[in-house]
Amino acid sequence: MRFQDKVAIVTGGAAGIGAGCVRVFVREGGRVALLDIDGDILAKAHAALAAPQTTLAMVADNDADALVVVTDWNEYRHPDFSRVKALLRRPVVIDGRNLYDPAKMADLGFTYHSIGRQIVEHPAPERVGEYA
């Protein structure tokens, strides 16, 4: 189980590639926070998973290991990165849409994985901090 004891926040987690990512994380032992702009589709996707390790909301207890971006909706193009960072155990973003600038992500203190670009590694403490 590759993702045992790991938590991912998946944008666009109700359909398409996002839903596929969610299924892989769950099948491989991970816990997932599903995010989507369509609440009805999100609720149906969550019910269809029938997996106790999924939730429909942001991880409020700072328990996520990574933010996985699989949608390019405007709502996800300019997130509050200080809040995102506070919600993650370690500041890791996996960007399947190349929405963010690698240099900016490095400046913000994130380890950043994107498609076809070099990984930005950023050493960070186990717990980043609280959202202000």
- Pairing of the two strands 66-69 and 92-95: parallel
Ranked by mean pLDDT, the top range of 3-12, 32-41, 58-67, 102-111 is 102-111
The candidate with the shortest Cα–Cα distance to 51, out of 84, 87, 19, is: 19
Q: Two tokens at 108?
A: 């913000």
Phi, psi of 103 (to 5 degrees): -65, -40
Domains and CATH numbers, the chain: 7-114 (3.40.50.720)
**Tens of pLDDT, residues 27-82:** 888 888 877 767 788 778 878 876 666 555 443 445 678 888 888 878 778 888 88
Round to the nearest angstrom and report the end-to-end CA distance of the chain.
35
pTM of the shown model: 0.64
Question: In this structure, which amino acid lies at residue 44?
Answer: K
